Chain A
Amino acid sequence: GAGVSQSPRYKVAKRGQDVALRCDPISGHVSLFWYQQALGQGPEFLTYFQNEAQLDKSGLPSDRFFAERPEGSVSTLKIQRTQQEDSAVYLCASSFGSGRDTGELFFGEGSRLTVL
């Protein structure tokens, strides 16, 4: 497809389970971002990749959160030992530019995680 694709769209996990969320950005986009969005709130930055390099992971809430983009294309956000407070929509965004010229972000539809 032409847009950013995320899977799964919906995920229900029992507390303590590990989950993996996938993001397939627009082909050729250099920058890739992960955001966490709680209901009725703005997206909160989690981490940023420029190609395969993770340049900023300052927004990851704890060491249970891990993200990778090994070949500079598809990215996976992994959450270990999920907790109820991890319940949110996880948004992936990509852009053609990078750094100061990151420009417009193209977002996926998000992965809604519910931890029971």
Chain B
Amino acid sequence: AQKITQTQPGMFVQEKEAVTLDCTYDTSDQSYGLFWYKQPSSGEMIFLIYQGSYDEQNATEGRYSLNFQKARKSANLVISASQLGDSAMYFCAMTVNTGGFKTIFGAGTRLFVKA
């Protein structure tokens, strides 16, 4: 079954420190895409970072990096130098082939950044 698992319902981090949000996935596809999205309390879903299954290097976008371990089927998000504005829900997502292609999401991790 195609599935995304995020085991951390909530995480706390001190401002300016780094934090890792966990994501594991399950798919039988050889080619797939992995994404992270941020959803602040205002509700809009914001794309953060993308990793293709055949990309050998970990993706980075500013303060965001994706720690991709293909053998372990994990795609953890690392946020460096946390800011108060990083407090939000974070969703890991994957594009899967189910006859057609669709993007499925995990249950999310709520991140709280402390001043």
Contacts and interface: CB of A to CB of B under 8 A. Distances in A.
Given A42-B106, A42-B107, A91-B45, A103 B33 contact: yes
Interface in B67-115: 91, 95, 97-108
A42 B108 contact: yes
B59 to A, nearest CB: 12
Interface size class of B (residues with CB under 8 A): 20 to 34
B81 to A, nearest CB: 24
Contacts of A105: 35, 37, 45, 47, 103
B51 to A, nearest CB: 12
Given A103-B50, A104-B47, A109-B43, A43 B91 contact: yes
A93 B45 contact: yes
B45 A43 contact: yes
Interface stretch (A13-21, A64-72, A80-88, A94-102): A94-102
B56 interface: no
B14 interface: no
B105 A42 contact: yes
Given A41-B107, A43-B91, A100 B101 contact: yes
Contacts of B35: 104-105
Nearest to B31: A100
A107 B44 CA distance: 7
A75 interface: no
A98 B103 contact: no
A56 B99 contact: yes
Contacts of B50: 103-104
A89 B106 contact: no
Contacts of B4: 42
A89 B105 CA distance: 15
Interface string A35-52: 100001111110010100
Report, nearest first, the 8 A-B pairs whose CB atoms are least far apart.
Answer: A55-B100, A107-B45, A56-B100, A42-B105, A104-B47, A42-B107, A43-B105, A99-B101
Interface of B: 4, 6, 31, 33, 35, 37, 43-47, 50, 91, 95, 97-108
9 contacts: A42-B91, A42-B107, A48-B101, A50-B100, A93-B103, A100-B33, A102-B33, A102-B103, A105-B35
